[in-house]
Structure 1
């Protein structure tokens, strides 16, 4: 069995444990670890499967799990490209969220931030989604291009609205609402083939029982929910704090400080929300066999099966 899959199935962590686990996996040093170290870690886990699960207090084993879980896709067993590893998500998206939420006097000034943000998040969702179903390269390219274009279009809608409306509350609230909803729909659209073609479901030993569209639907729904929580909170809290900050004497003396304050607030909030949102649901989702398709129920006596939710 793929070591990462075995780990997530065996270690049924609580939310707090998953949160602490993700704080380690999101360590920026996981972006610069060499391929040689990753291969050695994987070899250690593959040759000592049972010991690796039992001996989690051993620092050597613990480091091996950290490298494997943070750099290798659990479905394919292939290395995740460095810019799209979970540890890269915060450094890439935090500045993009900040710039995409800035008030703009023209549409042109926001096109690049919006397109950059949705290009990255679409690619991240596609790379870190479930990879257990058949998908051709041209399908991924066409789907990704369409999702980027549509997400960017809807992301620019608040700017068009702000140019025509003077209502202060609407001008502040609409960008947050749009960012939250479009981020969730981006996951649904990017991974739309999973509910259509189905993803692998397996027993606790890693034996594949079949491909389930219902499991694919649940995986996409849970991941979309985590993105809504992530970006909704990240966009909302800095706006609230900024509302009170502009009333302070410090802001009156140094108006330029609003940018610094808002960027710092965005990074801090998102720094907390990324591991929290990734921890909302287990990495290896569980689903009752009775909820799956009849053809899967007929080939197993297990009451509960597992699937890779994706990040």
Structure 2
């Protein structure tokens, strides 16, 4: 009996056109959907089976195209695109909103004392280390030494920035002081992500032609990928850390929060969460997940190899990571 859906649907690629920002945004609204972290292991394994079977030309009776795409996005939300391994749950992109809204909200509420700064910056960088490792590009392992160096360096950088700016902020208005956590997060991203992915810079990441044929490994591609991720992460944090300070600065002068000061943290967490629901997928969509670069920008030896094996090829493609 003929399958209910055709066998030529390209589920290696997202459902929406990734050449446009709107298409990428639709894709990442699905990938970062926080509800995906609530899915059971049985649901995840069933999605993996549907995807793997379809790639082998096997279609379960009654499977619809919408169900196939749903399975593909469940699979993408939980399994690494290069290694195929199931990702640690809080490192998945679907955990970004609930985890970041809690951590960021608390960083922005408890920023006035040194112990609070130390604790919440440590929590944030611990979470960032997990996310950066989980969503790295390529299939090369990172050593415990490299992982530790990235973690310690980013945490130290974030804490030093936060404490230094907190000291300066005491001389200016309280509103400006509320932006100290954002400055610390931005500086830490510039440290944490490159260090966590230093192996990619050292040994390169896989580059392919448009059809997915592997052509070699490129450090130049890794540098572009990491730069794009750093920019996306900083901009992702910006709305949730830039808009709530103005709102909280006003609310804390009102009678309600003066009477119930303990409500400050939940309100701030909620405001950050609202911003992140939109900022997370929209900033992930700034650059295509399947990024590309001109062959002429690759390392000379890789250029020569590609020109010998694929003459006329002008661009290579790679997973930039998240």
TM-score after normalising by structure 1? 0.85
2:84 paired residue number: 77
The answer to whether the Cα contact below 8 Å between 2:150 and 2:196 also exists between their aligned partners in 1 is yes
| Whole-Å separation in 1 of the counterparts to 2:99 and 2:74 | 20
Q: Which runs of structure 2 are paired with 1:257-296 in the superposition (5 Å)? A: 257-296=263-302
Q: Which runs of structure 2 are paired with 1:84-103 in the superposition (5 Å)? A: 84-103=91-110
For residue 171 of structure 2, the aligned residue among 166, 173, 189 is 166
For residue 134 of structure 2, the aligned residue among 120, 127, 130 is 127
The Cα of 1:129 is off from its aligned counterpart by 1.0
The answer on 1:113 being equivalent to 2:124 is no
| Whole-Å separation in 1 of the counterparts to 2:11 and 2:221 | 16
The Cα of 1:253 is off from its aligned counterpart by 6.2
SS, match of residue 316 in structure 2? strand
Q: Which residues of structure 1 form unaligned runs of 5+? A: none
TM-score after normalising by structure 2? 0.82
169-178 vs 18-27, which moves further: 169-178
The answer on 1:217 being equivalent to 2:223 is yes
| Whole-Å separation in 2 of the counterparts to 1:250 and 1:127 | 42
2:144 paired residue number: 138
2:315 paired residue number: 304
Q: Which runs of structure 2 are paired with 1:171-190 in the superposition (5 Å)? A: 171-190=177-196
1:235 paired residue number: 241
1:202-254 deviations in whole A, cap 9, x for unaligned?
11222111111110000000000001101122211111222333455655665
| Whole-Å separation in 1 of the counterparts to 2:195 and 2:112 | 30
Cα 1:181–1:144, aligned 2, differ >3 Å: closer, same or farther? closer
Cα 1:41–1:174, aligned 2, differ >3 Å: closer, same or farther? closer
Cα 1:191–1:244, aligned 2, differ >3 Å: closer, same or farther? same
For residue 38 of structure 2, the aligned residue among 13, 32, 41 is 32
| Whole-Å separation in 2 of the counterparts to 1:278 and 1:63 | 20
The answer to whether the Cα contact below 8 Å between 1:118 and 1:151 also exists between their aligned partners in 2 is no
The answer to whether the Cα contact below 8 Å between 1:84 and 1:127 also exists between their aligned partners in 2 is yes
The Cα of 1:145 is off from its aligned counterpart by 3.5
5-14 vs 147-156, which moves further: 5-14
The Cα of 1:142 is off from its aligned counterpart by 2.7
| Whole-Å separation in 2 of the counterparts to 1:295 and 1:9 | 35
SS, match of residue 80 in structure 2? coil
| Whole-Å separation in 2 of the counterparts to 1:233 and 1:28 | 18
| Whole-Å separation in 1 of the counterparts to 2:245 and 2:54 | 50
The Cα of 1:194 is off from its aligned counterpart by 1.8
* Number of residue pairs the alignment of both structures matches: 304
